[in-house]
């Protein structure tokens, strides 16, 4: 009996190993196919990419989004220099490919922006990209019950979106509207900030419903 159990355990171990190898190959294959879909559809909004990947690989949309987040990089989708900073809300920063003067969003002309403004509008001819970030830098609303600015004011560069003013730092840093992704990343990293994983659509929907 002991020998039988040992042989069964050895067989189970071999099967587990084989299943892992097969799953690993499938994961690698799926990622390769997903990357190819991204390359073939440069400029397509993320939600449409998810649908396309789900259909091509026979995956649920949740599985397709997970796969996309694993293999998707901003550089693969579009030249980073095309995106310009247009809006910040808590730990989400938004960039647009549209001319900053033409980009708008819900109540962007109303003051104070922190109690009125919503996320930027997207369209067929331009893209909105957003990521999460961490930084000790402060928005214009910092230390004010009601700031004196609308999003349009900030995007006209009356004040920076993020600043180290009032903080003890070695080198003052200001990040204004229109900053490229590279400039934004370099700015927050100067004060030990960081860019996190791309925001999920669930987080974006929460912002819409605030």
Profile the chain (210 residues) by mean pLDDT over runs of 10 residues: 49 43 50 70 72 82 73 51 90 91 95 94 82 89 89 97 84 94 88 69 49
Q: 3-state class of 138 per DSSP? A: strand
Say yes or no: 33 and 128 in one domain. Answer: no
Say yes or no: 200 and 99 in one domain. Answer: yes
C-alpha 56/C-alpha 40 separation (Å) is 13
Say yes or no: 189 and 175 in one domain. Answer: yes
Q: Which domain holds residue 182?
A: 79-209
Of 51, 76, 101, which residue constitutes the final position of a domain?
76
What is the pLDDT, as a whole number, of residue 141? Answer: 92
Say yes or no: 105 and 149 in one domain. Answer: yes
What is the pLDDT, as a whole number, of residue 21? Answer: 38
Say yes or no: 199 and 96 in one domain. Answer: yes
What is the pLDDT, as a whole number, of residue 209? Answer: 53
Q: Which of 188, 193, 179, 194 lies closest to 80, judged by CA?
A: 179
DSSP code at position 156: T
What is the pLDDT, as a whole number, of residue 177? Answer: 97
What is the pLDDT, as a whole number, of residue 20? Answer: 36
Evaluate whether 150 touches 111 at the Cβ level (below 8 Å).
yes
What is the pLDDT, as a whole number, of residue 38? Answer: 67
Say yes or no: 60 and 101 in one domain. Answer: no
- Give, in degrees to the nearest 5, the angle at Cα 193 between 191 and 190: 30
* Counted domains in the chain: 2
Say yes or no: 204 and 104 in one domain. Answer: yes
What is the pLDDT, as a whole number, of residue 22? Answer: 33
Of 61, 76, 91, which residue constitutes the final position of a domain?
76
3-state helix, strand, coil in the chain (%, to 5): 45, 15, 40
Here the tokens at position 34 are 């997903």
Say yes or no: 65 and 126 in one domain. Answer: no
Evaluate whether 162 touches 135 at the Cβ level (below 8 Å).
yes
DSSP code at position 87: E
What is the pLDDT, as a whole number, of residue 173? Answer: 94
What b-and-e string marks burial along 62-97, b requiring 16 or more CB atoms within 10 Å of the CB? eebbebbeebbeeeebeeeebbbbbbbbeebbbbbb
Evaluate whether 83 touches 181 at the Cβ level (below 8 Å).
yes
Say yes or no: 101 and 177 in one domain. Answer: yes
Evaluate whether 103 touches 96 at the Cβ level (below 8 Å).
yes
Of 76, 108, 131, which residue constitutes the final position of a domain?
76
Evaluate whether 29 touches 53 at the Cβ level (below 8 Å).
no
C-alpha 180/C-alpha 195 separation (Å) is 14
Entry pTM:
0.60
C-alpha 43/C-alpha 66 separation (Å) is 19
């Amino acid at each position: 009996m002991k020998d039988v159990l040992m042989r069964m355990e050895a067989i189970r171990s071999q099967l587990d190993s084989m299943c892992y190898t097969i799953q690993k190959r499938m994961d690698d294959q799926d990622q390769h196919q997903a990357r190819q879909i991204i390359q073939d559809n440069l400029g397509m909004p993320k939600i449409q990419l998810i649908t396309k990947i789900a259909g091509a690989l026979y995956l649920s949309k949740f599985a397709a989004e997970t796969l996309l987040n694993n293999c998707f990089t901003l550089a693969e989708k579009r030249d980073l220099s095309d995106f310009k900073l247009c809006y910040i809300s808590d730990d989400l920063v938004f960039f647009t490919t549209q001319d900053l003067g033409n980009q708008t969003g819900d109540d962007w002309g109303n003051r104070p922006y922190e109690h009125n403004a919503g996320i930027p509008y997207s369209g067929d001819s331009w893209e909105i990209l957003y990521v999460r970030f961490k930084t000790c830098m402060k928005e214009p609303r910092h230390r004010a019950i009601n700031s004196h600015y609308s999003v349009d004011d900030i995007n006209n560069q009356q004040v920076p979106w993020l600043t180290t003013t009032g903080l003890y730092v070695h080198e003052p840093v200001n990040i204004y509207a229109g900053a490229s992704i590279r400039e934004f990343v370099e700015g927050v990293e100067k004060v030990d900030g960081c860019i996190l994983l791309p925001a999920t659509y669930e987080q974006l929907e929460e912002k819409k419903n605030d």
